[in-house]
Amino acid sequence: MKILAAALHFSALAAIVPVLSAQTLNLSSSFVNQVKNRATLSIQFELDAHLTKPHPVERSGDDGDVHMAGRAPEVQLPMVVEIMNAGEKDQSASVKLMNGTPAGQTIAVTGAWRIWFEHPSQDEQTQGDSVEVPANSNPNHVFEIHPVTAFGGNDIGDSSLVPIEDPKNGHLYAAYSAGVAFGRYEKLEATVEVSDTAVSITSKQVGYNYTEFELEPAGKAQQTPDGFFVLANVYDTSDDETPVTAAPRRMVFVAKTEPAKELLSLPPGGRMHVLGIPRVNLAEVAAVQPGKAVDLPLPYEMIVVAVLPDEESNVASTHAASSHPAKPNGPGRKR
């Protein structure tokens, strides 16, 4: 798919002046329409830089993932690919393939597409502009394939979209609590401008990736070729009566994974105890009236990446969560 960068510039973009901690992402309307109601995206990923082993499993950025940076003609943006539970035996073939692939070589990758302003640059990113070869595994980016469900010839969705635990000692990852993370998501703001050819989103940097919560579907799940979408009320594990969102949020389930299987077997009125990561809801973004720039709460949805045991909760404390903010390419451990 060839995306023309020239079609992505708005004459009014200069009037959208974000604060220093914000970034503008310019997307092709055709790309937005292609993925807005899809759970996943398949790409030919040119692998440029990667970690050699997964992160440890503790909290915050120590999430057991392994990062890769590269480029893809289907995306045409700076991007990162992440395999969940990369230290588990079932992912060893994929990690071996990653480590054995020379820089610049292409690997077929499928996984949940994700736009999130966790590692933004100070400059605009426009789909179709030339993408520089990344210098490390975590360059400034807002686009990801995360989590990966197929890597090369390895189908890993069913084995990697499970609770994150340390393969050596079995300790579970300490995720952010719903009260902390959704409290942040609900306050996010954005400026969106839509035209016939392009969609522009400006928003501030935000982290709070892996979040533990309970969801209760508020309607019937809608099936897509690669998964399911359902509106759901969201609850903190410490309070099963008061939702932490102002309205039901759309949940994304990847087909043939444990979260999707659990959703399909859920009885009416049932709840799921899950781990999820946020992404921009492009269906809501695309629904903005074309024309002038519009200020609004950042539309977001949750990719459900694991079903957690009902009897266990392993959320990070509020103090711990707030003391481990996301850091884009700053001092500290390289990701």
The pTM score is: 0.89
pLDDT at site 88: 96
* Residues in the chain, pLDDT under 50: 1-20, 317-335
* Bridge partners, 174 (sequence order): 59
**pLDDT, tens digit, 9 for 90 and up, residues 146-171:** 999 999 999 999 999 999 999 999 99
CB atoms within 10 A of CB 140: 15
Residue matched to tokens 């994150």: 164
Tell me the percentage of the chain whose pLDDT exceeds 90.
85
Closest among 237, 247, 239, 242 to 276, alpha carbons compared:
237
pLDDT at site 47: 98
Token pair for residue 77? 């943006």
**pLDDT, tens digit, 9 for 90 and up, residues 176-194:** 999 999 999 999 999 999 9
What 3-state class would DSSP assign to 283?
helix
- DSSP codes joined into one string, 96-153: HHHHHSPTTEEEEEEEEEEEEEEE--SS-EETTS--PPPSSSS-SEEEEEEEEEEETT
Residue type, 282: L
Q: Could you give the domains of the chain?
A: 21-160 (no CATH), 176-322 (2.40.50)
pLDDT at site 21: 58
pLDDT at site 167: 93
| Rounded distance between C-alpha atoms, residue 44 and residue 74, angstroms | 7
pLDDT at site 311: 66
| 175, 316 Cβ separation under 8 angstroms | yes
| Residues 235-247: b if buried by 16+ CB within 10 A, e if exposed | bbbeeeeebbbee
What's the whole-number average pLDDT of the chain? 89
CB atoms within 10 A of CB 94: 24
